[in-house]
Each structure stands twice: as structure tokens, then as C-alpha cells.
């Protein structure tokens, strides 16, 4: 098993594809994790964190959509989720490049 911090950083930053293309924030990290988890040191652990975070964001977005009708609370929730989805992949990419173990907030444990 090799240590490849650059690939870990790319995997974290690939979550930002949704801001550029509108999709891909779950698909690309999922493919990178699935193909490299046995080859790259810490890819399995960090890949699970990323996939759980992206699945959690999808669940929270689905919850926020009906809340838009309730005094616009869903809009505030969607804005907060957008900020979290932008900031934490960058922070965790920096942590991964420094060899630290990144953690994502509000992440539900779908894959353990």
C-alpha cells in the first residue's frame, strides 16, 4: 500500500465539482475511493468520510426542500449547507495534505 497524499487531496477537492458542473460531488469521490481504497494508505478511511458526508448533504437538502414553505427556513438551511459543502472539502484537503485525519460535520454514518 502506498502513501499518496496528492490523490487524497484530489479526492477531497473533487467534491467541489458540483459548484462547477452541477453534479459529480458524489460520483467522482465514490469512484476514486472504490478503485483506490486497497492501494492508497488512508484512502478507505477518508473515502468513507467523503461518501458519508455527500450522502448526508443529499438527505439534508431533501429535508430543506419542504421547509422552504415553512417561513423560508429551507432557504436558510440550503444556504448553510452550500457554505458547509464549499468550506469543509477545502479544509479537509489541507488536512489530508498535512497527513492529518479529516472529519466532516453533520455527517451521518451510512458506510462504516
- For residues 3-8, average pLDDT: 93
Identify the DSSP state of 110.
S
The count of residues in the chain is 112
pLDDT surpassing 90 at residue 10: yes
Q: Predicted confidence band at 40 (pLDDT cuts at 50, 70, 90)? A: very high
Q: Predicted confidence band at 2 (pLDDT cuts at 50, 70, 90)? A: confident
C-alpha cell at 80: 448553510
Q: What is the pLDDT of residues 16-36, one digit of tens each?
A: 999 998 888 999 999 999 999
C-alpha cell at 68: 422552504
Q: What pTM does this model have?
A: 0.93
Amino acid at each position: 500500500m502506498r502513501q499518496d497524499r496528492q490523490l487524497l487531496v484530489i479526492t477531497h477537492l473533487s467534491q467541489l465539482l458540483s459548484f462547477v458542473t452541477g453534479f459529480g460531488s458524489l460520483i467522482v469521490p465514490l469512484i476514486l475511493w472504490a478503485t483506490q481504497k486497497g492501494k492508497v494508505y488512508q484512502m478507505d478511511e477518508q473515502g468513507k468520510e467523503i461518501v458519508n458526508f455527500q450522502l448526508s448533504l443529499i438527505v439534508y437538502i431533501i429535508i430543506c426542500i419542504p421547509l422552504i414553505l415553512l417561513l423560508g427556513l429551507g432557504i436558510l438551511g440550503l444556504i448553510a449547507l452550500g457554505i458547509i459543502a464549499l468550506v469543509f472539502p477545502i479544509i479537509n484537503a489541507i488536512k489530508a495534505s498535512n497527513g492529518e485525519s479529516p472529519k466532516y460535520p453533520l455527517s451521518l454514518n451510512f458506510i462504516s
